[in-house]
Amino acid sequence: MTYDASTRRDGQSAGSTAADRTFWGRLSAWGPYHALMRLTTASPRRQFLILAAFPILWVLTQHLGPMLQMLRVSLTDAYPVAPGVEQSFTLDNYARFFGDSIFWMPFFRTLTFAGVFTFCTLIITYPVAYFLARHVSRKNQMLFLLLLLIPFWVGEIVRTYAIMILLGNTGAVNLALKTLGLIDRPIPFMYTSFSMGVGIVYLTALYMLLPLYSALEKLPQSMNEAAADLGAGAWTRFRRVSLPLTIEGISSGCTLVFLISTGFYATPVLLGGPSTTVFAETIAGFFHVAGDEWPTGAAFATIMFLAALIITTVFQRLMKMLRKGESA
């Protein structure tokens, strides 16, 4: 995507006469702008540097900066430093994680839960996105989509409490089942992996829905029809046509949802049971309960972060291979 200013040094390239009448034509013919463009696009290298300078500066100062602070804290033996205390550097905080198996359980549980809930979210939202993109007329698509977005404007906590009064022993579901005469005793839905799943899928569905929708929306209907003409059934059409072409959307949706799920704190804590502790809770404990455990918390957070990073990278690679394999 490089552009060589020399090709239009005389400003005489094709179409310029028609373009001159539009705003863009006038802009590109405007002296100072033209000079600026020549300056900035003089060579592919300079063009790239100008494009890359700001993003790289941003990620270094804004993204890396705070994290380096965290990394520094994770390598210290005390933070915040009490007056008169000498601060020294240590790896003990990392050793603590690997040295004590009680931390492994919530760690792997978090990754497993995040994976499972991401998959559930995908399974649930794919048909919804498919329906929206393929079976709703273009005029109404935005409206149908907005309809689904409305509930996401309610804060996490308020929605989580709404789920409690939905699933509680005297909650709406049990009330309805009882009224219908289906049960005598309430079913204890709450404080299980089930209630946690209901809550998390509720919170993440949107982050899956939008990438899927935008991928499906681009899918040409003609391909489906062509496949149908060749005698492909619904499942085959889906597997051979829709799925490969929406891998990009699936990949970015799953990455988003996975990342968000690993960081969830309030919902698992409020909806989960005694045996569903997640790692975010463990980490938060080091910051909430005792002040001098920030370094341990920071070290654990770094570990979690690295794990999430590795998993998403591997996942993205896999998806890329899959896409290449399908298109080959």
Partner 1 sequence: MNDRPELFRGNRIFLACIYWAFVLYVFVPLILMVLMGFKDSRFIGFPIRSWTLEWYTGVFADTEVLSTFGYSIAIAVLSTLISILVGTWIAVLLEGRKFAGRGLTFGLTLLPALVPGIISAIAFRIYARWLGIEPGMGAIVWAHAVHNVPFVVLVVMARLSTLPKSQIEAARDLGADPLITFLRITLPYLVPAILGASIFCLLLSFDDFVRSFFLGGYEPTLPVMIFAMLRSGMSPEINAIATVALVLTAAIGLWAERFTRRMNKER
Partner 2 sequence: MAKLIYNRRRFLGTAAATGAALASPAYLRRAAAQSGGEVNIWTYNNFVPEAFKEQFEAETGIKINIRLVDDQGKQFNLLAAEQPNPTVDIMTVAGHRFLQFIDSELLAPLDTDRLSNWGNINPTFSESDWATINGHKWGAPILSGMEVLSYNTDYVTQEEAMTWQTLFSEEYANQTAYIIQDMMSIVMLMKGYDGNMVAYMDDPDKAAAIVEEAKNFLIEHKPLVRKYYDSGAEFQQMMINQDIVLGHSWNGPAAALINDGFPLGMTIPNEGSYGFVYTYNIANNAPNPDNAYTFLDAILASPEIGAAMTKASGFISTYKGADQYLTELEKKSTSFPEEQLANLQFFRAEANELKYSLVDPAVEAIKAA
Binders of partner 1 in range 289-318 (CB under 8 A): 294, 297-298, 301, 304-305, 308-309, 312-313
Q: Is 26 in the site for partner 1 (CB under 8 A)?
A: no
**Among partner 1, partner 2, none, residue 102 binds (CB under 5-8 Å by kind):** partner 2
Using CA atoms, how far residue 251 sits from 108, 112, 145, in Å, is 22, 18, 20
Q: How far is the CB of 213 from partner 1 (least distance, A)?
A: 8
Query: CA dihedral in degrees (301, 92, 112, 279; nearest 10)?
Result: -50
Q: Is 99 in the site for partner 2 (CB under 8 A)?
A: no
For 184-195, b/e burial (b = at least 16 CB within 10 A) is eebeebbbbbeb
Q: Is 75 in the site for partner 1 (CB under 8 A)?
A: no
Q: Is 118 in the site for partner 1 (CB under 8 A)?
A: no
Closest CA to 135 of 216, 61, 70: 216
* Residue type for position 22: T
Q: And the tokens for 255?
A: 């990455």
Q: Is 65 in the site for partner 2 (CB under 8 A)?
A: no
Residue 89 pairs with which residues in a beta bridge? 76
Q: How far is the CB of 172 from partner 1 (least distance, A)?
A: 6
Distance CA 164, CA 152 (A): 17
Applying CB under 8 A, the span of 43-51, 164-172, 251-259, 320-328 interacting with partner 2 comes to 164-172
Q: Is 194 in the site for partner 2 (CB under 8 A)?
A: no
Q: How far is the CB of 177 from partner 1 (least distance, A)?
A: 13
122/163 with CB nearer partner 1: 163
